[in-house]
Amino acid sequence: MPPPASPVLVTKVKVQLKLAIARLRMVQKRDEALAKTQRRAMAQLLEQNKVDSARIRVENIIRSDIITELHEILELYCELLLARAGLLEASPTCDPGLEEAVKSIIYAAPKTEIKELQTVRTLLGEKFGKDFVLQAMENSDGKVSEGVVKKLSVTPPREELVLGYLEEIARAYGVDWPKGKNKELGDPPDFMDDDDENPSGGQAQRVLEEPLVAVDEGAAAELKAQEELSKATPPKSFGPASPLHVNPPSPSTDNIHPKVTLNRMELTTPTKKPAAAARKPVEKKGDGVPDLDELAKRFAALKR
């Protein structure tokens, strides 16, 4: 039985797991940038019709994508161990909930470029013993993830996968490969009906001229209507004549007050008396009493 794990060993495992996660993410970004450059170069080879060279080089792109997927799986296993680090301290043996992650990391670490994973593998070997590490490396009990085993295999890619990669790269970069793939619908018919949407010859000329003639006639009619409207004079009367009529002042006089007629009868406005006449003192009799007749005349004049 392996010795119980000390808190110091578990702390070291946690630190190395964090470093491994950061390194895996950095390597994934680097590989994605390189894959874009390789795909662009592959599209140029297909455009130059260098198919044999493209078939060989596309295998590097396929292998790079497989390794990227492997790094994603290992990153998830590292995050799982980091989240369940308390189980590493609880028991000297590997917990069943951690066995797949631990054995997959031990199995894949020597076959990757991530040094932090190799350090984690060494620490896990100290924790669970040499027999546990040997069992994981040989995968004798089948506990290693099937995806990890498949992605670390060195078998060449299938022909269908190679062609699929080449076609996808050509489509993404707008390359016509294989040649004539965009003409799968066949050639157009040799003749077309007279009432088609794309006429040719004299029919096309006639179709182009007819709308122009219609537009010219419409514009001429609109211009003619505008000219007639500008020459027209407004009517002198709208409906029945009003009984009230106002004559404008004569231009030969200085009178600014017009004449007002009602039913052909001229209406006169009372003229305003001079201020001096309005303020004329009322004549008084010898005893100082105002004359009543004079007052009556004044009131009568005001009423008018």
**Per-residue pLDDT tens digits for 287-301:** 555 566 777 777 677
Beta bridge mates, 244: 262
State yes or no: pLDDT of 249 exceeds 70.
no
pLDDT at residue 125, as a whole number: 94
Greater pLDDT, 192 or 67: 67
- pLDDT, residue 213, reads 46
* Amino acid symbol at 69: E
Helical residues (DSSP H) of the chain, grouped into ranges = 7-47, 51-83, 85-90, 96-108, 115-128, 130-138, 146-151, 159-172, 202-231, 275-278, 292-303
Q: What is the mean pLDDT of residues 229-257?
A: 56
Residue 198: CB atoms within 10 A of its CB come to 6
Looking at residue 90, its pLDDT comes to 84
Q: What is the pLDDT of residues 17-31, one digit of tens each?
A: 999 999 999 999 999
For the chain, give the mean pLDDT.
78
pLDDT tier, 226 (very low <50, low <70, confident <90, very high otherwise): confident
Question: What is the DSSP-derived secondary structure letter of residue 290?
Answer: B
pLDDT at 91: 81
Which of 27-41, 151-165, 171-185 has the weakest average pLDDT? 171-185
DSSP three-state, residue 101: helix
What are the residues whose beta carbons fall under 8 Å from the beta carbon of 258, sequence distance 6 or more? 246, 247, 248, 249
- C-alpha Rg value of the chain to the nearest Å: 54
- pLDDT number for residue 78: 96
Tokens standing for 160?
């269908």
pLDDT at 225: 73
| Structural tokens at position 46 | 């297909």
How many CB atoms lie under 10 A from the CB of residue 291?
Answer: 12
* pLDDT value, residue 138: 94
Question: What's 178's DSSP letter?
Answer: S
pLDDT, one tens digit per residue, over 71-130 is 999 999 999 999 999 898 888 889 999 999 999 999 999 999 999 999 999 999 999 999
The answer to whether residue 69 scores a pLDDT higher than 50 is yes
pLDDT band, very low/low/confident/very high, at 276 (cuts 50, 70, 90): very low
At CA 37, angle to CA 31 and CA 41, rounded to 5?
135
Considering only 205-214, 224-233, 263-272, which range has the smallest mean pLDDT?
205-214
Q: Has residue 259 got a pLDDT over 70?
A: no
Percent of the chain surpassing pLDDT 90: 51
Q: Is the model's pTM score more than 0.85?
A: no
Provide φ and ψ at 95, rounded to 5°. Answer: -65, 140
Q: What are phi and psi of 195, to 5 degrees?
A: -100, 35
Residue 15, pLDDT score = 96
List the beta bridge partners of residue 262: 244, 265
Burial class (CB in 10 A: 0-12, 13-18, 19+), 91: exposed
